[in-house]
Every structure is written in C-alpha cells, then in structure tokens.
Amino acid sequence: MDLNYAPEDREFRATTRRWLETNVPKHDLKTLDERKAWHRKLYEAGYVGMLWPKEYGGWGTTPMRQAIVQDEMARVSAPPTINGLGIGFIGPTIIVHGTEAQKQRYLKKILTAEEIWCQLYSEPNAGSDLASLKTRAEDQGDHFVVNGQKIWTSSGPIADWGILLARTDSKVAKHRGISCVLLNMRQPGVEVRPLKQITGSSLFSEVFMTNARAEKSDLIGNVNQGWEIAQTTLGFERGGNSLGRVTRYTTAFNQLVKATKELKRGGRPLIEDGAVRARMGRIYADLEVQRYAALRVLSALQKGDAPGSASSITKLSYTEFEKRYYELALAILGPFGHLMVAREEFEEVDSSSGEPGTFATAFLWSRAGTIYSGSSEIQKNIIGERVLGLPKEVRADRLKA
Amino acid sequence: MDFSFSSDQLLLKNSARAFLDEHCKPTAVRLLWDDPRGESDTMWKEMAQLGWLGLSLPEVYGGSGLGMVESAILLEELGRAAYPGPYWPTVLAAAAIEAAGADAQKKRWLSAIATGDARATLALLDADLDWDPAAMTARAEKAPRGWALSGTKRFVPWAHVANVLLIPARALEGPTLFLVDPSAAGLKLSPVQGMDLSTRWVQIDMDKVPAAADAVLGTPGQAAPLLSSLVRRGAVGAAAEMLGASRRCLDMAVGYAKVREQFGQPIGSFQAIRHKCAEMLLEVENSHSAVYYAAWALDAKAEDGELAASVAKAYVGDAARKVCGEAIQVHGGIGFTWEYDLHIYFKRAKALEPMYGDADYHREQIVRRVAR
C-alpha cells in the first residue's frame, strides 16, 4: 500500500496545472462552436481520449493521468469537454465490437468532437427493464428501417450520431431479439424534442424515429447480439471520473463553509451553531470517504484490473452520497439554499452534470444520478447477484423465457 | 499509487485469519465470558510468538518495525473474530512508551510487551468523558519522592489484567503522562461490564497514588500532543476492528440469505433482502477505504493524516452500526437469540463506537480542521 503519487505523475500534474492556468477560457463558453473549440484544444494538448489506443487517435496513457487531468480541470472549474458519452462509452464499444471500417470512419471524429454522439437506449416503457424495448429495426437487405421512440437522450439536439438499441426479432425471448446499430441523427426520419427537466434546463430530449434509415454496415456485432454488447459496455458509464467529481464536491464544500460564515441565524454565524457543525462534519467525512474510494478504484484501474460489477458499488456510492450531500447543504442554508441565482454569500457551484448554478441547481441535479445509467435499485440487484452471489429473483419475464 | 496490500501484508492478513479461525472460534470467545480475567493467557503467548505484540515496535525490542497499515490489517481480523483481550490497549500503550519514554522505561516495558510477558493499557477517559486531553480532570501533585495522582479514570480497557497503567493527569506544568503500578497504594480498580462480554472496562479511582519521579513519560506538562495522537491512532485501530466485525456480520447475513427459504424461495432472492445486503457491502467497502487510507496517512505522516483518522472513526462508527444491525434484521428471529453467534460481532462493533471519540466527537474535529 502506497498512496503517494509517483514522481512522474506529480510532474505530470504540475505540467497540466500550468497548461490549464494558461489556456482555460476566461469567459463562459456560450455557443456549441466555442465549446467544440475548447474541446479540440484539450484534445490536441493530449487531455482528451487519454485511454484510447494511439492507432485510433487516442493518447494511450494511464487511468492515473486521466484522473489527474479530470481532477485539475475540476480544481479550476474548467469548462467540461463535450461528447462525453461518445468518448466514455460509445467509442470504446466500437473499439471492442466494431468492424475495422467502422473504427476508421467514426473513432477519430468522436475524439475531436467533430461529430457529437448520443445514446438511444431508454424508451418511455423500457427504463430499468431496458430489454423490453419496442423500437423496431426492419431488415431491408443493405439497411434497416427504424420506427419507435427513445427518451432521456442527453445531447439529443446537438447529436450527429446515435448508438441505437432496437428490436430486430420479436419472436424470441426479449433479450435475444435486440440489435445494436449506429444511427445518423441528421435525417428527416429522426425528430428530436427537448425535454425540460426539474432544473428548468433541457439537457435531455425525446427522439422520434419514423422510417429512419440505418445502414447495415453500421451494425455493431451481429444481428440480435445487441443486448450482449450493451451489457459489456454499460459498465463504461459507471464509476468514471470519480476523482474530478470529488474535487467538485470539495469546491462546493468550501462555498458552503463561506456561506455558513456569512449567513446568520439568531444573530450568530451559522458555523457557530452546534447542529450546523455536526451536519458539516458528517458531510465532510462522507465526502472524504468518496475520495478515498475513488483512489482505490483508480489504483485498481492503474493495475489493469477491470472493475466489472464492482463499478456498480462505485456508482451507487457516489450518486447516493450526492443526494445526501446536497440535502444536508440545503438543510444548513435554509431558504438561501433554494435560490436559483448566485448571490454574494455563495458563488456558483458545479453540479454533477457540469451545469453551473447554485446549491439549489446541484440539489435538483442530484436526483438524476440515482436514476440514470441504471437506477440505484438496478445497481443493488447487480451487486446482490454478481458480487455477493445471492440467488436470482423469480421474475415473470424469466419464467416465460 | 497502490491501494492494494503488498504480498507481505496479504500474508499477514491470511495468517491472522487462519490463526483466529482456529483459536478464536465463537465457542472459544463464549468460554471466556464467565472468566474473571476475560482473556486467554495461552492465546496471548501465541500471539506474541506470531510477532503480533511487537508488530510496530523497533527491532531492538524484539519488534518488527511495521506501521499502522499492518496494525489495521491485524485489528480488522481481530474484530472479525471478536477477539477478547487487551491487544490494542497494550499495543497503543507500547507506542506511547516508544514515542515518549526514556531509555530505561523502554527497556523495562517494550521487550516484555513484545514477548507477551507484560500487558499495558491507557486511561484516556476522565470522569467527565471528554476525549480532549485539555479537558483532563485527574490531578498530579508534587510529592516528596515524585508525584501523587488523584482523580477518576473511566472505561479503561482491560486495566484489571495490565502490568502497567499509562495514566494522564494534570500537573501544575500541564497534562502529564505517568507509568503507574496497578498495585500502588490508593489505587482502586473496579470492573464495569458493558453489553459486549468480550470487552472489559475498568474504573480507576486514585487517591494520592504515589508515582516516582522517573514514572513520568516524556516531559511533565508536555503530554497533550502525544495524548491527541494516541486518541487518533486508537480511533483508527478501533475503526479497523469495527470494519472486521462488519465484514463478519455481512458474511453471515449473505450466507444466511442464500439458504434460508420462505415463500418457497431463498430470502436472498427477494429484493427487500438483496438490496439490504448490497447496501451493507457498500458500507463495508467504504469503511475499508476509510480505515486503510487513514492508516496509510498516519504512517506516511501525510498532511491530512489527522483529518483522515477522524473521518475513519466517524464514518466507520456509523457504517458498522448500520451493517451489524441490518445483519440481525436479515436473519430475523434467529439473529436475536443468545445461541446464534451474530450478536458477538454486533456487540463488538457497538462497544467500540464510543471509544477513542465517538462519531460526534470526530465530526467536530473534522469541522475544526476544514472550516477554520
């Protein structure tokens, strides 16, 4: 056990910090073009696609270095990269399961954010029970004709491409009739409607596909292999960027400390109130443990261990933590915690989504984490069955299958 | 950066597990409940032979010179076995002697502790139950041939079997730590028994107990930093033991959920039970991260070492209470019976909750550090 950073990683951190100090945009990035330009700059500096193999345009460096970059970016509240799903899990899916032609066609443009990607998995009636999805892809020889509706699609309005799960065989058990195919979002048969969330912003959307066309050459793996592919790659989504995430929480905690010194109750600063102190201590202990856990995951990744089902523990841990965290922060701040516009007493904080705002924004966003990418209940099922080896539950759909 | 155990550390863990599985079975733990001493001298000697008592002492005193990470590994296993005996108080007292003692004091006690010939304990809690050394109420007054100690020490672990008591008292110069003979005149030991029958506590009442001039550990009046560091070290050790007890409770709950059938199914197939077990595992894994991060940070003298010790005790105290409590719930009625072994580990975790500062105390320490 040695939790010191290696000298070369410390050096790398110092270099990264200097680069960010010089290059982080001084003003908010307003347009998509500005965000793409910032992303491109990070990519060219070697800070995007760090784990991707060099042959596909990545940098082939270590999980530790990637974590250091994410951590340093969080430290200075740098604007986030874009195309997170593309880089974090769609690209890796293509790397693992795609054809050589697909790799050549798509990977580099994912990294550079020349093409933005979205995920077309969830449907109005297929959430946790994703395998019951209804969107159909009919085989027309050289292409599929796609009809159906997807929901909770991040980056929908700006996406050029989507990774789609659709039913290609309705006569077999539900898990065995699904295919995974890449879908061009820029076509008449695809309509994207923004979905306003409880935060007031619209980062998700609904996607309607009416006789949309997906090329056969864009099929990932074989026909009806889609569920298997989704199973192996959903884990990519869980547990990533945990160090940078914790640094953002710490930044928010410092804002909270500042607020409790400035806000008064009964004539005294909140920070002098024993009940407030107890809550602050609880939050901070919880937050530090998330940091230690992130280091533990990072150390395992660094040694080449695949997190597998254990990534469900990480995801469950930080998303549930985030809810407790912002609930306690709001309890401490009282009505001030409800304000949606930053004030003198507390500056903006980053929510987990990267959407800046007040504690109220972050509090609202914290409700999303335990639902997306497999709800907490689904994670507990995975942990129970695959980590603890508890018997599978008797489910109606398994009895039929 | 490596958060995993080295091969030597794994060896220590595995050999401790094997030894305790054989020599510290639940039946052995139960046998000592009615014993006035409450511990086994045979096992103590065997632990000494395994090198556990001198684990973190310098080699010159027969120790192995290892760190807090290794101590935590061992304590986790001891907690998992609900080992009854003065291991951690003795090791902690030895660390105090090693850190602050004069050569003669080290020679007198450290080798004897490493060989299993002496037991020691540390009286950190005074009458008003405050872990802050500044709040100490016991008094040390100058006497013709040294000092006279007066006052009350509460919940001192295993003092009835100790060969030497480390007793802090307030002198004119400030907090001072004394090596006291348990049979000294004016000193009264009264055992008190909590719900964990494998943890023994003793109240020490002192009325002008004589202590020689050379019984002072370190410089008179200068003991506060050492005492604070012992509370922190003690807290990390207690957290490691609670982690072990939690793991044992989790293992028993999962094992039971796989075989116990109701409604024609193993109860582990029901989400109500399975989700509970998943939450317990999450708490245990986070506790692992907290304990070993803190242990490493103390060894490495990292700048957040003191903070990490408080984080570990605050977090693991809450987590262990949840995990061990839910283990009873998963078991249902059988988990509430005296015959079933679960309560042995449930009570061990519980007994350590208030020791070396409870979660509230450590949360306040955390706030003092991060919200200055």
Other C-beta atoms within 10 Å of A207: how many?
26
Q: What is the CATH number of the domain that holds A333?
A: 1.20.140.10
Residue A62, both tokens: 């270590």
CB contact at 8 A, A250 and A283: no
Residues of A in contact with B302 (CB under 8 A): 3
DSSP letter string, B33-98:
GG-SS-S-HHHHHHHHHTT-TTTTS-GGGT-----HHHHHHHHHHHHHTT--SSHHHHHHHHHHHH
Mark whether B366 and B248 lie in a shared domain: yes
Q: Which has the closest alpha carbon to A380: A38, A10, A128, A3?
A: A128
- Cβ of A149 under 8 Å from any chain B Cβ? no
Residues of A in contact with B257 (CB under 8 A): 390
Say if the Cβ atoms of B289 and A300 lie within 8 Å: no
Instruction: Let me know if residue B83 belongs to a domain.
Output: yes
- Which pLDDT tens digit goes with each residue over A264-315? 988 999 999 999 999 999 999 999 999 999 999 989 888 888 777 788 999 9
- Output DSSP code: residue B218: S
Mark whether A276 and A335 lie in a shared domain: yes
Mark whether B244 and B181 lie in a shared domain: no
Instruction: Let me know if residue B258 belongs to a domain.
Output: yes
Mark whether A257 and A359 lie in a shared domain: yes
CA dihedral B256, B259, B264, B268 (to 10 degrees): 50
B169-193: string of b/e by CB count within 10 Å (b at 16+)? Answer: bbbeeebbbbbbebeeeebebeeee
Distance CA A44, CA A23 (A): 12
Mark whether B153 and B63 lie in a shared domain: no
- Output DSSP code: residue A388: S
Instruction: Let me know if residue B99 belongs to a domain.
Output: yes
Last residue of a domain, one of A32, A56, A82: A82
Last residue of a domain, one of B118, B153, B187: B118
Mark whether A141 and A192 lie in a shared domain: yes
Instruction: Let me know if residue B63 belongs to a domain.
Output: yes
List all residues 6 or more positions away from A75 whose beta carbon is below 8 Å from its beta carbon.
Answer: A17, A247, A251
- Cβ of B7 under 8 Å from any chain A Cβ? no
| For range B97-117, the mean pLDDT | 97
Residues of B in contact with A289 (CB under 8 A): 286, 289-290, 311, 315
| For range B114-118, the mean pLDDT | 97
pLDDT of residue A393: 84
DSSP letter string, A93-162:
HHHHH--HHHHHHHHHHHHTTSS-EEEE--BTTBSSSGGG---EEEE-SSEEEEEEEE-S-TTGGG-SEE
- Which pLDDT tens digit goes with each residue over A306-358? 777 788 999 999 999 999 999 999 999 999 899 887 766 666 777 666 676 78
Instruction: Let me know if residue A103 belongs to a domain.
Output: no
What single letter denotes the amino acid at residue A343? R
Mark whether B125 and B241 lie in a shared domain: no
Mark whether B324 and B230 lie in a shared domain: yes
Instruction: Let me know if residue A93 belongs to a domain.
Output: no
- Which pLDDT tens digit goes with each residue over B236-249? 999 999 999 999 99
Instruction: Let me know if residue B2 belongs to a domain.
Output: no
Mark whether B289 and B326 lie in a shared domain: yes
Instruction: Let me know if residue A369 belongs to a domain.
Output: yes
Mark whether B190 and B228 lie in a shared domain: no
Q: Which residue of B has its CA nearest to A315?
A: B282
pLDDT of residue B68: 98
List all residues 6 or more positions away from B107 whose beta carbon is below 8 Å from its beta carbon.
Answer: none
Instruction: Let me know if residue B347 belongs to a domain.
Output: yes
- Which pLDDT tens digit goes with each residue over A77-93? 898 899 988 998 899 99
What single letter denotes the amino acid at residue A200? G
List all residues 6 or more positions away from B216 whose beta carbon is below 8 Å from its beta carbon.
Answer: B147, B176, B177, B178, B179
The band of B53, judged by pLDDT with boundaries at 50, 70 and 90, is: very high
CB contact at 8 A, B230 and B122: yes
Mark whether B246 and B209 lie in a shared domain: no
Strands A268-269 and A349-350: unpaired
10 Å CB burial of residue B254 (0-12, 13-18, 19+) is buried
Say if the Cβ atoms of B281 and A288 lie within 8 Å: no
Distance CA B170, CA B36 (A): 32
Instruction: Let me know if residue A40 belongs to a domain.
Output: yes
Distance CA A131, CA A127 (A): 9
Instruction: Let me know if residue B100 belongs to a domain.
Output: yes
- Cβ of B366 under 8 Å from any chain A Cβ? yes
Q: Is A152 left (phi over 0), alpha (psi -120 to 50) or beta?
A: left
pLDDT of residue B221: 96
Distance CA B112, CA A178 (A): 71
Please report, for residues A24, A130, A187, A229, the alpha-carbon distance to residue A124 in angstroms, rounded to integers and kept in the order given: 39, 10, 22, 22
Mark whether A375 and A243 lie in a shared domain: yes
- How far apart are the CA of B240 and the nearest CA of chain A, in angstroms? 15
Instruction: Let me know if residue B104 belongs to a domain.
Output: yes
| For range A375-391, the mean pLDDT | 95
The band of A234, judged by pLDDT with boundaries at 50, 70 and 90, is: low
**What is the tally of structural domains in chain B?**
3
Mark whether A124 and A50 lie in a shared domain: no
Percentage of residues in chain B having pLDDT higher than 70: 100
By mean pLDDT, which of A230-244, B108-122, B123-137 is the weakest? A230-244
Q: Which has the closest alpha carbon to B237: B55, B109, B65?
A: B55
Please report, for residues A158, A235, B327, B356, the alpha-carbon distance to residue A313 in angstroms, rounded to integers and kept in the order given: 32, 11, 19, 30
Mark whether A186 and A121 lie in a shared domain: yes
Q: Which residue in A283, A390, A392, A394 has the most chain B C-beta atoms within 10 A of its own C-beta, making it the best mutation to test that interface?
A: A390
CB contact at 8 A, A238 and A378: no
Q: Which residue of A has its CA nearest to B270?
A: A393
Residues of A in contact with B289 (CB under 8 A): 289, 292-293, 295-296
Helix (H, G, I), strand (E, B) or coil at B190: strand
Residue A264's φ and ψ, nearest 5 degrees, are -115, 150
pTM assigned to the model: 0.94
Mark whether A54 and A195 lie in a shared domain: no
Residue A35, both tokens: 């965000």
Say if the Cβ atoms of A292 and B1 lie within 8 Å: no
Handedness of CA B4, B9, B13, B15 (dihedral sign): positive
Distance CA B372, CA B368 (A): 6
Looking up tokens 């400035």 gives: A262
Distance CA A287, CA A249 (A): 7
Half-sphere exposure of B122 toward its Cβ, with a 13 Å CA cutoff?
A: 27
| For range B151-168, the mean pLDDT | 98
The band of A114, judged by pLDDT with boundaries at 50, 70 and 90, is: very high
| For range A127-144, the mean pLDDT | 95
Mark whether A257 and A395 lie in a shared domain: yes
pLDDT of residue B103: 96
B332-367: string of b/e by CB count within 10 Å (b at 16+)? Answer: eeebeeeebbbbbbbbbbbbbbbbbbbbbbbbbbbb
Distance CA B144, CA B291 (A): 46
The band of A400, judged by pLDDT with boundaries at 50, 70 and 90, is: low
Provide the CA B117 distance to its chain's centre, in angstroms: 20
Range(s) of the domain holding residue B312: 224-370
Last residue of a domain, one of B186, B217, B248: B217
Mark whether A140 and A183 lie in a shared domain: yes
Nearest to B363 among A281, A303, A379 (CB): A281
Instruction: Let me know if residue A263 belongs to a domain.
Output: yes
CB contact at 8 A, B177 and B96: yes
Instruction: Let me know if residue A203 belongs to a domain.
Output: yes
Mark whether B110 and B131 lie in a shared domain: no
Between vectors from CA A108 to CA A104 and to CA A111, what angle results, nearest 5°?
Answer: 150
Mark whether A262 and A371 lie in a shared domain: yes
Residue B364, both tokens: 């306040």
pLDDT of residue A244: 85
CA dihedral B336, B341, B343, B345 (to 10 degrees): -150
Distance CA B334, CA B216 (A): 51
Mark whether A135 and A282 lie in a shared domain: no
Range(s) of the domain holding residue A18: 7-82
Provide the chain B residues 46-105 that lie in CB contact (below 8 A) with chain A.
Answer: 69
Other C-beta atoms within 10 Å of A257: how many?
18
Please report, for residues B34, B152, B181, B231, B346, the alpha-carbon distance to residue B192 in angstroms, rounded to integers and kept in the order given: 14, 14, 20, 21, 20
Task: Tell me what the pLDDT averaged over chain B comes to.
Answer: 97
Mark whether A216 and A75 lie in a shared domain: no
Say if the Cβ atoms of B310 and A277 lie within 8 Å: no
Nearest to B1 among A288, A295, A381 (CB): A295
List all residues 6 or more positions away from A320 whose beta carbon is below 8 Å from its beta carbon.
Answer: A370, A376
Please report, for residues A142, A175, B366, the alpha-carbon distance to residue A219 in angstroms, rounded to integers and kept in the order given: 11, 17, 54
pLDDT of residue A241: 67
Instruction: Let me know if residue A99 belongs to a domain.
Output: no
Say if the Cβ atoms of A1 and B69 lie within 8 Å: yes
**What is the tally of structural domains in chain A?**
3
Say if the Cβ atoms of A3 and B69 lie within 8 Å: no
Is the pLDDT at B212 greater than 80? The verdict is yes
Q: What is the CATH number of the domain that holds B47?
A: 1.10.540.10
Annotated catalytic residue: which of A191, A228, A237, A345?
A237
Please report, for residues B83, B84, B291, the alpha-carbon distance to residue B345 in angstroms, rounded to integers and kept in the order given: 10, 11, 18
The band of A235, judged by pLDDT with boundaries at 50, 70 and 90, is: low
pLDDT of residue A242: 77
Looking up tokens 């027309």 gives: A140
Residue A63 or residue B5, greater confidence? B5
- Which pLDDT tens digit goes with each residue over A71-80? 999 888 898 8
Q: What is the CATH number of the domain that holds B170?
A: 2.40.110.10
Is the pLDDT at A399 greater than 80? The verdict is no
Instruction: Let me know if residue A14 belongs to a domain.
Output: yes
Point out which residues pair with B211 in neighbouring strands: B147
Percentage of residues in chain A having pLDDT higher than 70: 94
Mark whether B194 and B301 lie in a shared domain: no
Where is A48: in which H helix or E strand? none
Q: Which residue of B has its CA nearest to A256?
A: B371
Q: What is the CATH number of the domain that holds A25?
A: 1.10.540.10
Percentage of residues in chain B having pLDDT higher than 90: 97
pLDDT of residue A291: 95
Looking up tokens 């959407």 gives: A355
Mark whether B283 and B358 lie in a shared domain: yes
Distance CA A149, CA A123 (A): 6
Nearest to A313 among B4, B275, B282 (CB): B282
CB contact at 8 A, B37 and B97: no
The band of A1, judged by pLDDT with boundaries at 50, 70 and 90, is: very high
Say if the Cβ atoms of B279 and A380 lie within 8 Å: yes
Last residue of a domain, one of A56, A82, A108: A82
pLDDT of residue A310: 80
Is-catalytic flag, A237? yes
